[in-house]
Amino acid sequence: MNDQTRVPRTLPRFSATFDPQTTSEIRRAAATGIYDIRGGGAKRKVPHFDDLLFLGASMSRYPLEGYREKCGTSVVLGARFARKPIELKIPVTIAGMSFGSLSAQAKEALGRGASAVGTSTTTGDGGMTQEERGHSSILVYQYLPSRYGMNPDDLRRADAIEVVVGQGAKPGGGGMLLGQKISKRVAAMRTLPEGIDQRSSCRHPDWTGPDDLEIKIEELREITDWEKPIYVKVGASRPYYDTALAVKAGADVIVLDGMQGGTAATQEVFIEHVGIPILAAIRPAVRALQDLGMHRKVQLIVSGGIRNGADVAKALALGADVASIGTAALIALGDNDPRFEAEYQALGTTAGAYDDWHEGRDPAGITTQDPELAKRLDPVAAGRRLANYLSVLTLEAQTIARACGKSHVHNLEPEDLVALTVEAAAMAGVPLAGTSWIPGSPVG
Amino acid sequence: MTTEAPAKTFDLATSSVRELNQFLHRVKEGANLPRWRVLNPRGVHAIAAGVDADVTIEIDGDVGYYCAGMNKQATVIVNGNAGLGLGENMMSGLIYVKGDVSQAAGATAHGGAIVIEGNASGRCGISMKGVDILVKGSIGPMSAFMAQAGTLTVFGDAGEALGDSIYEAKLYVRGSVKSLGADCIEKPMEDIHRAELYERLKLAGAAGEVDIGDFRRYGSARALYHFHVDNAGAY
Ligand SMILES: Cc1cc2nc3c(=O)[nH]c(=O)nc-3n(C[C@H](O)[C@H](O)[C@H](O)COP(=O)(O)O)c2cc1C
């Protein structure tokens, strides 16, 4: 034996910059020549609600009795201009997800689950289906650049209208639905040939900028005789100014979607690199509302990575009125369930990581138009799971609110929060735990 | 034109567009198909938006944005010019404009017909989904962008990037086309197209006005219907 072979070797070391994920993407790009498209939201770690903590009650703040004292959760949306505002029983709603990206069964399940607990669902880039109108007691109708399936009858059938300017996963990007999911029914609803790769535009065809939007909103109000609340949805990027401009344009409700927010199909580079985390967006949006005297008059719905009642409570404490969920709702229905592990493996992935939603081969039958796969989702059972999950989110948010001594979840406030990291303290505008230090200077 | 009911008038100098639209929305089937005359529109927005009844609404003057937006069934006549988004997302009926129209005329409209005596600005027929648009003058740039279905007929010229990323809409232009957008090509004008064009002109009451033989036809090359790396430059 040679002495030299016994020289200790350092372990093979992966580069933090060129990690295995990165190098595998370089090889994929080199082999195909086209960017990666996937569903879901940003997967990398960004400052989030986990970086905040509630202080709870202490000598100077009195808690409410957990199961006895009332802690309200309802919220009225749209009272600014709409003749028929809507009331949600819980401060959580289901975000817009298109029929096309989701199966008809999944849309029905969302409607059933949300209705069971008194909250709303939202259509998406693909029009309104009978299933979701029928099963959603409160349905928000999205008004998107593509205007697929848009018609005045559905507009009037809706309970509220959401003008979509942007989405957190892709502020500045349009939609895409690849050929595998453009079934006969989806194609007919969108006035497109079957099986083509569909791109929807990123800008509205008949207005540009906030001054036009004001006139567009007036038109929508005229068509619906000023009945419906009108929301404006933006991806989180310049939340102070976007909120102020949406208020100026006449919105009843602002929907603010952070970069973690899910999408049906978008370029990976877009999902991971454009837009800001919801944690950083709420305070500037609230400040814009406060500066205009509109906080709690124009409601703020926030989304992007909301998972549990603590996230909901933190979003409300920062000044939002409602939290909205997409990805979590799909998981509650059964998306990425480990019981389909063998099938996820066959697709080259694993339960919990499956994000090729654009391919329409979802073993759980949710992000697909394949009738056989879609049949796997029982809308009644899935709706019940969603209702359970929404109840848990609400109970958890109430638990925290009571611990902070609040008789309504909307009484939570930034003063109930501290941050675990300097970044989160700066973004959320709350002190670093154990200090009175709020780093950074507010926008606007 | 014999048994026409007498027109009732609505004066926007003394009433609001809200009152006008609320009134028009209450006109339902079975009403004795009244004719409405709107005076003093003075560029007000959303005039006759969201009407869903077989009525005739004649507007004496210039209208603002989104006139007759989402129209169903109604015939809307504008004796003047029209602002942005004329007849946007129209479902059925007829819109007739004596003057010129601004951008995005007939945007995303699903059905019915729009006839414009004058010129139309840019993005005419953007994202159109089945409407038949006839412009007797010329149209501006980026017209028929992502146009999905229906016909756009132009007696005059078309601006830059006509039919960019077009789907299945059919474009007939008599004059020059400054340039074609991505995936839009000239296609042979055959008998069936001449017949279709004739039919459209006849419906618009313009059949004898031009020589069908002067038109050229444009539509989708369908090369961008599937993502492909070789087309990356076109997206
Ligand atoms: C499958 C899927 C489809 C979506 N489709 C739309 C859509 O059509 N329109 C839209 O505005 N947002 C769409 N979104 C975004 C959601 O409305 C919402 O902003 C986002 O999911 C919220 O973030 P979360 O997924 O982290 O809860 C979609 C999201 C998903 C997951």
| ipTM computed for the complex | 0.95
Q: What is the pLDDT of residues B151-192, one digit of tens each?
A: 999 999 999 999 999 999 999 999 999 999 999 999 999 999
**CA A244 – CA A286 distance, rounded (Å):** 10
What percentage of chain A exceeds 90 in pLDDT?
A: 89
Is the CB of B65 less than 8 angstroms away from the CB of A222? no
Q: Is the CB of A305 under 6 A from ligand 1?
A: yes
Q: Name the strand (E) or helix (H) holding A37.
A: strand A37-38
Chain length of chain A:
444
**A419 touches A430 (CB < 8 A):** yes
Q: Which residue in A has a C-alpha nearest to residue B167's C-alpha?
A: A192
Q: What pLDDT score was predicted for residue B29? A: 59
Cα of A124 from ligand 1 centre, angstroms: 8
Chain A positions touching B51 (Cβ under 8 A) are none
Q: Is the pLDDT of residue A127 over 70?
A: yes
Question: A263, A266, A274, A354: which to mutate for ligand 1, most atoms within 8 A of CB?
Answer: A263
Q: What pLDDT score was predicted for residue B4? A: 58
Q: Which residue, B117, B49, B59, is CA-closest to B89?
A: B49
**CA B161 – CA B145 distance, rounded (Å):** 8
Cα of A163 from ligand 1 centre, angstroms: 14
Chain A positions touching B46 (Cβ under 8 A) are 215, 218-219, 222-223
Q: Is the CB of A181 under 6 A from ligand 1?
A: no
Q: What pLDDT score was predicted for residue A176? A: 81
**CA A83 – CA A104 distance, rounded (Å):** 31
**CA A246 – CA A216 distance, rounded (Å):** 12
CA distance B191 to chain A (A): 24
- Whether B1 maps to a domain, the answer reads no
Is the CB of A215 less than 8 angstroms away from the CB of B64? yes
Instruction: For residue A164, give the ligand 1 atom closest to its CA.
Output: 11
- Whether B108 maps to a domain, the answer reads yes
Rounded (to 5) percent helix, strand, coil in chain A: 40, 15, 45
**CA A336 – CA A354 distance, rounded (Å):** 6
Is the CB of B46 less than 8 angstroms away from the CB of A147? no
Q: Is the CB of A377 under 6 A from ligand 1?
A: no
Three-state DSSP state, A106: helix
Q: Is the CB of A167 under 6 A from ligand 1?
A: yes
Domains of chain A: 47-334+377-427 (3.20.20.70)
Is the CB of B25 less than 8 angstroms away from the CB of A216? no
Chain B positions touching A194 (Cβ under 8 A) are none
φ and ψ of A380, to 5 deg = -70, -50
A194 touches chain B (CB under 8 A): no
- Whether B197 maps to a domain, the answer reads yes
Q: Is the CB of A142 under 6 A from ligand 1?
A: yes
**CA B104 – CA B90 distance, rounded (Å):** 12
Q: Is the pLDDT of residue A1 over 70?
A: no
- Whether B59 maps to a domain, the answer reads yes
Cα of A388 from ligand 1 centre, angstroms: 21
Q: Is the CB of A314 under 6 A from ligand 1?
A: no
**CA A415 – CA A413 distance, rounded (Å):** 5
Question: A49, A167, A199: which to mutate for ligand 1, most atoms within 8 A of CB?
Answer: A167
Crossing angle between the packed helical segments A239-248 and A278-291, to the nearest 10 degrees:
40
Three-state DSSP state, A374: helix
Chain B positions touching A177 (Cβ under 8 A) are none
What percentage of chain A exceeds 70 in pLDDT?
A: 98
| Facing A152 at nearest CB: one of B52, B64, B65 | B52
Question: A38, A46, A97, A141: which to mutate for ligand 1, most atoms within 8 A of CB?
Answer: A97
Is the CB of A219 less than 8 angstroms away from the CB of B52? no
**CA A211 – CA A176 distance, rounded (Å):** 28
A226 touches chain B (CB under 8 A): yes
Q: Which residues contact A83 (CB under 8 A, 6 or more apart)?
A: A225, A226, A227
- Whether B2 maps to a domain, the answer reads no
| Confidence label for A198 from pLDDT (cuts 50, 70 and 90) | confident
Is the CB of B17 less than 8 angstroms away from the CB of A222? yes
- Whether B18 maps to a domain, the answer reads yes
Please state which of the ranges A19-23, A104-108, A439-443, B75-79 shows the lowest mean pLDDT: A439-443
**A288 touches A244 (CB < 8 A):** yes
B150 touches chain A (CB under 8 A): no
Q: Which residues contact A366 (CB under 8 A, 6 or more apart)?
A: A102, A103, A106, A330, A333, A334, A335, A377
Kindly report the number of other CB atoms within 10 A of residue A70's CB atom. Answer: 11
DSSP type of residue A12: P
Q: Which residues contact B125 (CB under 8 A, 6 or more apart)?
A: B105, B106, B107, B109, B131, B133, B139, B143, B144, B147, B150, B152, B169
Chain A positions touching B110 (Cβ under 8 A) are 151, 191
The domain total for chain B is 1
Q: What is the pLDDT of residues A203-251, one digit of tens each?
A: 999 999 999 999 999 999 999 999 999 999 999 999 999 999 999 999 9
Chain A positions touching B226 (Cβ under 8 A) are 179, 196-197
Q: What is the CATH number of the domain that holds B77?
A: 2.160.20.60
Q: What is the pLDDT of residues A404-420, one digit of tens each?
A: 999 999 999 999 999 99
Q: What is the pLDDT of residues B90-103, one digit of tens each?
A: 999 999 999 999 99
- Whether B139 maps to a domain, the answer reads yes
Strand locations in A74-182 (E): 75-77, 86-88, 92-94, 121-122, 139-143, 160-164, 176-177
Q: Residue B80 sits in which domain range?
A: 7-234
Q: Is the CB of A93 under 6 A from ligand 1?
A: no
Q: Is the pLDDT of residue B12 over 60?
A: yes
Crossing angle between the packed helical segments A209-223 and B17-26, to the nearest 10 degrees:
40
B167 touches chain A (CB under 8 A): yes
DSSP type of residue A403: H
What integer is the mean pLDDT of A320-325? 98
| Facing A206 at nearest CB: one of B64, B104, B167 | B104
Residue with tokens 């079934």: A183
Tally C-beta pairs within 8 A across A and B: 106
- Whether B143 maps to a domain, the answer reads yes
**Which amino acid is it at A279?**
L
Task: Please state, in angstroms and as integers, the Cα–Cα distance from residue B52 to each residue in B41, B69, B222, following that order.
Answer: 20, 11, 35
Q: Is the CB of A306 under 6 A from ligand 1?
A: yes
**CA A221 – CA A156 distance, rounded (Å):** 10
Q: Is the CB of A121 under 6 A from ligand 1?
A: no
| Confidence label for B1 from pLDDT (cuts 50, 70 and 90) | very low
Residue nearest to atom 4 of ligand 1 (CA): A97
Q: What is the pLDDT of residues B106-137, one digit of tens each?
A: 999 999 999 999 999 999 999 999 999 999 99
**B106 touches B130 (CB < 8 A):** no
Q: What pLDDT score was predicted for residue B5? A: 60
**A301 touches A321 (CB < 8 A):** yes
